Structure 1
């Protein structure tokens, strides 16, 4: 079974990682969503990829964690995308959980680079527990120490190990990490038949990012990937 993820929601149709983007992804038939979490100054989980506001609102200085969540809700991140999204703000994770059907698989990425958010793992798991979303879930990160802390808190959580650059034998690294890794999430540019074969031979699902070109997508399917992270509704709505 192929399972594709709507990367930051449907980010070609609405501002990424916002409620409109997630609504559109769900309406496009996405069976899985990917989103990113960071912490505000007052330790609220904010759904955002960048640690600064510059791409969304060039008039806002500083980082996500320089602002309280109440202050963040006053910052427009939609107007640069289009007038119809003027006034759209970054959501709290709780807001996203409230609109996601229970059968929708969530991949929540902990954004712990370049800013290290102390305690984000416990806050995340507390929130997921409160909203009964510990099932149908993957927690991923490029910060593998963050994955270790998640596992120490709750060893039953499926973990996804993200890799941006090529490393030698990442499947061996995952196996010897001491982590309960269920899936490997590599940059798609270096994924080939051997990579997929070795990951799967070692018991890992493979979900490359970010795949929006149909020809490349079909090639990856031939290699045997279990799905991809995509910005293309034709792919993530499949």
Structure 2
């Protein structure tokens, strides 16, 4: 059965990358969740896709890295979604791990572009080790140097290599990267049967993002993908 990831939690039902979104994904029976991590000014792992707050709170300027955790926790990112979630803040990775059962598979993306967070890999792996969550987890990133740093620290961590744009023979790139990649995470728009077959031939699982149309999901499953990242409960809850 495909392993489908709730992308930033159930983001159509609650503010993305917040505890309510993750809780709703769990309630839908999600077997896996995707989330993003960045570092605050005082090196706390905060769960957020955007480097800025403006999409969720237009009154807050600057980047996440400019704020301490005590400051971040006071920023409302829920009201822009709906008044029901007024006062909801971004969580730390620890907050999320506290509510996620160990059987739930996690994909943790290091958001290292365009901001490069020095030391985020060590901080992430220390946190996962503390929570005994070094298994049943994939660490992914568009920053493949970050993946190399993760591998250097703990070669037993599963790695997922993200690609946004089409590139020539990404399976060859992965094979020649020196990284022990478990899975390729391509933009779903260019994934076809050849992409999946060649990736599998090289020994890689394939998890396209972001697949919200159920017909496209069925097509990708027919191609042989191992799962997808999705905002749609009808997909990630299946």
Is the TM value for this pair above 0.5? Answer: yes
- Segments of 4+ in structure 1 off by > 2 A? none
Structure 2 residue aligned with 1:167? 167
Q: Give the Cα–Cα distance (whole angstroms) in 1 for the partners of residues 91 and 101 of structure 2.
A: 17
What pairs up with 1:80-95 in 2 under 5 angstroms?
80-95=80-95
Q: CA deviation at 1:222?
A: 0.8
In structure 2, the gaps of 5 or more residues are none
2:67: which partner in 1? 67
Aligned-residue RMSD, C-alpha: 0.4
Deviation per CA, 1:186-209: give whole Å up to 9, x if none: 000000010000000110000000
What is aligned with 2:151?
A: 151
Counterpart-to-counterpart distance in 1, 2:126 and 2:215: 41
Q: Secondary structure at the match of 1:140?
A: strand
Q: Distance in 2 between matches of 1:200 and 1:119?
A: 32
Instruction: State how far apart, in whole Å, the 1-side matches of 2:66 and 2:94 are.
Output: 20
Task: Give 1:122 deviation, angstroms.
Answer: 0.2
CA distance in 2, matches of 1:34, 1:151: 20
Q: CA deviation at 1:96?
A: 0.1
1 CA distance for matches of 2:32 and 2:201? 24
Shift of 1:141: 0.1
Aligned residue for 1:134? 134
Offset at 1:165? 0.2
Aligned residues: 238
Unaligned runs of 5+ in 1: none
